[in-house]
Structure 1
Amino acid sequence: MCPAGTCERMYARPHAALRPGVHSYRGFRVTHGEPRQRLVVPRGTVSLVVGFGPGLEPGGPVGGHGGKAVRPTASLATGLHTRARHFGHRGALHGIEVTLAPWAAHQLFGVSMNDLADTVVDPVDVLGRGFQELTEALRDTTDWPDRFALLDSALARWTESARGGRPPAGELLEAWDLLVRTGGTISVRDLAAATGWSWRHLETLFRRQFGLTPKRLARIVRLRRALRLLTTGSTPADTAYACGFSDQAHLTNEFTTLLGMPPRRFLAARGTAWRSSHWVAG
């Protein structure tokens, strides 16, 4: 939806060799008559935004905890976020967003994902000069399919380079899948037992390759499930029960802590003014 100004969006799947770690590409060119603000909710994925024009203005997380505000930037990279964060722009955006699983970002960036948790950084800080060269090549290419092909080549090359991080062990991916399948309700002890590792070893690997401990990641997974249920018509009370919260008050407290507002207020805001904003990452 673009009620004012112009919007151009293009979506593509990454090359099969990059999947499932690299989830999607989203090209965008947006102009509005006035600045826009967006609340970006935690989503369990990593974003790499290649900007071609005026930059985004990342704000701090709700509640003022778990991160800090950073300078406006045309391009950015984020780790996993545990709280919603405000983003704004001056009325125009142009670029491509790459969405990745955290372990794929670990391989690509070659850093501990714990260093990027609840953080927004300049991609040059983790990808080096090659990112600047890619940005220039993408900016000079006007056809979206050609841009996506350039991304395929660059991401494959960087992932295979010596700077890339170690691929995740199969047991670690199984632990991730189990945590997601259970909606974040499985205990850390049971999760560790499923891998055959100690909970301390599991926690160390989660922090390094995903960015968060199993407990903190489970919190995001449960929040995401609650959001899906609420936005499809489930009542707060039914949602709290289905997602394993102790009661509706527990659900409300979690929303207020992680999103900055209770469920009903979030749904009301999502259905009105926020829906017209282009920058949606959640």
Structure 2
Amino acid sequence: MARSTLPTSAPETVLGTPAAPLRRYVLGYRGYRMDLRRPRRRLEVPTDVVTVALAFEGSMRLTDAVSPAPAASFGSVAAGLRRTATIAEHTGVLHGLAVSLTPQGAFRAFGSPAGDLGGQWAEPGDLLGPRLRALTDRLADTPSWPARFAMLDGYFAALFAYGPDWEPSVLWAWHQLRRSHGLVPIHALVEGTGWSRRRLELRFREHLGLAPKQAAGILRLQHTLGVLAAREDHPTGADLATLCGYYDQSHLDRSFRGMVGCSPREFLASRGGTALPAPTDRVAGRVTSAVLDPGAA
């Protein structure tokens, strides 16, 4: 089922829920159509989500928000788990849709290339070649969002039917990290899997594209952002550090800046500025985004 979150005269955002058998692997679909006549910049924070965005019109310039480098331009793009935030900018004209996958779902759909996506942006065609380009064309020619989402259901159901599974020990370790919001000690994962630390890291990189410690940092950051977003009283830095498993406020601030490129308070302010459009998080239940002033450096 799809629902429009904005009137038709405004930029259009439509959310789609995947068919029930797919929800273990697909977190959701998001269709969008914008014709703003002015640039739009968004800050996309690290999440435990693999995103495949299929463009019908327009392109995006992507830059690392923490260690700026020359921007990379994409029409369609696949983004694996990244431990640093991304600044995404477009001209204001953008039409397409995005699929949000769990890391396990990305591996089942794409196989070993999913691990190569860790920390990277890539053309989706590099994963599935002409098949994905043909799918994008078919989706663009389909007249309604519900029909597009149904087409995606069929496409991913076929991929998942024969795709590879995670190794059981990787799945167990990932569940421990998620359950603890990234706070379970890595040595406990080593002991639980019976692997060496080196083998655990190698298997994580093959399956998720990141080492266990990096994946844990993303989960802890997401927990921190969730606490910030849910608490109307906005806990102090010291209280937030205690709630989210940091040594102290200084540790929290260093870790947050090292992953997002700003302080927690600055991030909250960027989400709540009255002069800018309200942010739309890309995935239900996760804090993913803030809309930035297009004139900001």
TM-score, length basis structure 2? 0.85
Residues 48-104 of structure 1 show CA distances to partners (whole Å, capped at 9, x for unaligned) of 011111112212342237xx6312x22110110100110011112211110001121
- Give the RMSD, CA atoms, in angstroms: 2.2
Shift of the 114–218 alpha-carbon distance from structure 1 to 2, 3 Å rule, reads: same
Q: What is the alpha-carbon distance in structure 2 between the residues aligned to residue 36 and residue 277 of structure 1? A: 12
For the pair 1:194 / 2:192, whether they are aligned, the reply is yes
Q: What is the alpha-carbon distance in structure 1 between the residues aligned to residue 276 and residue 193 of structure 2? A: 41
Residues 15-73 of structure 1 show CA distances to partners (whole Å, capped at 9, x for unaligned) of 223221111111111221311111100011100011111112212342237xx6312x2
- 71, 91, 104: which is aligned to 1:69? 71
Q: Is the 8 A contact 2:114 2:207 kept in 1?
A: yes
Q: What is the alpha-carbon distance in structure 2 between the residues aligned to residue 278 and residue 229 of structure 1? A: 17
Matching residue of 2:61: 57
In structure 1, give the amino acid aligned to 2:90. Answer: H
Q: Is the 8 A contact 2:6 2:12 kept in 1?
A: no
For the pair 1:47 / 2:51, whether they are aligned, the reply is yes
Matching residue of 2:13: 9
Q: Is the 8 A contact 1:30 1:278 kept in 2?
A: no
Q: Is the 8 A contact 1:40 1:280 kept in 2?
A: no
In structure 2, give the amino acid aligned to 1:74. Answer: G
Q: What is the alpha-carbon distance in structure 2 between the residues aligned to residue 273 and residue 172 of structure 1? A: 44
Matching residue of 2:267: 266
In structure 2, give the amino acid aligned to 1:222. Answer: R
- 29, 32, 40: which is aligned to 1:28? 32
Cα offset, 1:257, TM superposition: 1.1
Shift of the 116–61 alpha-carbon distance from structure 1 to 2, 3 Å rule, reads: farther
Matching residue of 2:215: 217
Q: Is the 8 A contact 1:108 1:159 kept in 2?
A: yes
Q: What is the alpha-carbon distance in structure 2 between the residues aligned to residue 102 and residue 237 of structure 1? A: 32
Shift of the 142–278 alpha-carbon distance from structure 1 to 2, 3 Å rule, reads: farther
Q: Is the 8 A contact 2:271 2:278 kept in 1?
A: no
Q: What is the alpha-carbon distance in structure 1 between the residues aligned to residue 258 and residue 48 of structure 2? A: 17
Q: What is the alpha-carbon distance in structure 1 between the residues aligned to residue 66 and residue 190 of structure 2? A: 31
Matching residue of 2:203: 205
Gaps of 5+ in 1: none
SS of the aligned residue for 1:24 comes to strand
For the pair 1:155 / 2:159, whether they are aligned, the reply is no
Matching residue of 1:120: 121
Q: What is the alpha-carbon distance in structure 2 between the residues aligned to residue 168 and residue 190 of structure 1? A: 20
Cα offset, 1:277, TM superposition: 6.2
Q: Which moved more, 1:245-254 or 1:166-175?
A: 166-175
Matching residue of 1:104: 105
Residues 110-133 of structure 1 show CA distances to partners (whole Å, capped at 9, x for unaligned) of 234442122111111111101111
Matching residue of 1:236: 237
Shift of the 264–278 alpha-carbon distance from structure 1 to 2, 3 Å rule, reads: closer
In structure 1, give the amino acid aligned to 2:219. Answer: V
TM-score, length basis structure 1? 0.90
Cα offset, 1:2, TM superposition: 6.9
In structure 2, give the amino acid aligned to 1:214. Answer: P
Q: Is the 8 A contact 1:38 1:280 kept in 2?
A: no
Could you tell me the percent identity over the aligned residues? 37
In structure 2, give the amino acid aligned to 1:117. Answer: G
In structure 2, give the amino acid aligned to 1:30. Answer: M
Cα offset, 1:178, TM superposition: 1.1
Q: Is the 8 A contact 1:113 1:210 kept in 2?
A: yes
Q: What is the alpha-carbon distance in structure 1 between the residues aligned to residue 203 and residue 182 of structure 2? A: 18
Shift of the 274–133 alpha-carbon distance from structure 1 to 2, 3 Å rule, reads: farther
Matching residue of 1:174: 172
- 27, 37, 44: which is aligned to 2:41? 37
Shift of the 279–62 alpha-carbon distance from structure 1 to 2, 3 Å rule, reads: farther
In structure 1, give the amino acid aligned to 2:176. Answer: L
